[in-house]
Amino acid sequence: MISIENLSVAFGGVTALNAVTVELRQPVCGIIGPNGAGKTTLLNVLSGFVLPQSGSIHMMDTDILPMKPHRRARWGLRRSFQKEQVVDELTVEDNVHVLLDQLGLSATERLNATAAALEFVGLSVLRRVSAGGLNAFERRMIEIARCVVGRPRVILLDEPGAGFSQGEVEKLRQVISSIHDATRSITLLIDHDVDLIQAVCRETMVLDFGSLIAVGNTASVLTDEKVRAVYLGMEDAA
């Protein structure tokens, strides 16, 4: 379970998160909301790139905020970024392998963990290829492999579906839906694609101007009046 209490973040005069309190318990939880709502800021606080003004975060009863980003990674926190982080000059395998440097595993454990992660996302055959030669979807799969490698406990994905075709999003959906069975970790998924959110997230939270405006069962959240007004209404208008 991820328990967030009274979490606030301000950048100068902008309140990016406003006293957010929420408990997330499901294997895959959605985070939705309009542009600038604070979704990425929340992931940045969870992963340790942004320090909040106030609040606390417990992941499976561990107090996360005092831990530096590398300690959170060691604990089992993984994330992907809104902007892709794949290194073209490294092989597919090494793009995953480097993440394990900070986890304190033996050489054999690292090789096995990398092989398992690449197998999970379907990139085993491309493992020795330079990442620069891969297409955008395969590169996104490298990022998912980096998230599932080496006993993750909490995985944070920031708009993994953005820019892909329906067929590709469907493959992504299958991979994300399998993460919990393969690793027992909890995934938090930000995406603007409501169909993807609905397909993989049993639970969803909605942010608007930094405030939590709804949380709960995804189907009920998506029919909530407030949510429709601020979020789905915008989609209808688009």
Ligand X SMILES: Nc1ncnc2c1ncn2[C@@H]1O[C@H](COP(=O)(O)OP(=O)(O)OP(=O)(O)O)[C@@H](O)[C@H]1O
> Which among 40-48, 58-66, 88-96, 209-217 is the span making contact with Mg ion, rule CB under 5 A?
40-48
State the virtual CA torsion across 1, 22, 210, 173 in degrees, nearest 10: 40
* Residue with smaller CB distance to ligand X, 12 or 104: 12
Least separation in angstroms between CB 12 and ligand X: 6
Strands 211-217 vs 203-208: parallel, antiparallel or unpaired: antiparallel
* Residue with smaller CB distance to ligand X, 26 or 211: 211
- Binding-site ranges for ligand X (CB under 6 A): 11, 14, 16, 33, 35-41, 82
Contact between residue 148 and residue 179 where contact means Cβ atoms under 8 Å apart: yes
Among ligand X, Mg ion, none, partner that 234 touches (CB below 5 to 8 angstroms by kind): none
Structure tokens of 235? 């989609």
Q: Please report whether residue 40 would count as binding Mg ion according to CB under 5 A.
A: yes
Least separation in angstroms between CB 205 and ligand X: 12
Structure tokens of 58? 């417990």
Among Mg ion, ligand X, none, partner that 16 touches (CB below 5 to 8 angstroms by kind): ligand X
Each as own residue / partner, the long-range contacts of residues 94-103 (CB below 8 Å, 24 or more positions apart, any chain) are: 95/131, 95/142, 95/145, 95/146, 96/142, 96/145, 96/146, 96/149, 99/73, 99/146, 99/149, 99/150, 100/149, 100/150, 102/70, 102/73, 102/74, 103/73, 103/74, 103/150
Least separation in angstroms between CB 170 and ligand X: 22
Least separation in angstroms between CB 14 and ligand X: 5
Among Mg ion, ligand X, none, partner that 150 touches (CB below 5 to 8 angstroms by kind): none
Among ligand X, Mg ion, none, partner that 79 touches (CB below 5 to 8 angstroms by kind): none
Q: Which of residues 20-39 bind Mg ion (CB under 5 A)?
A: 39
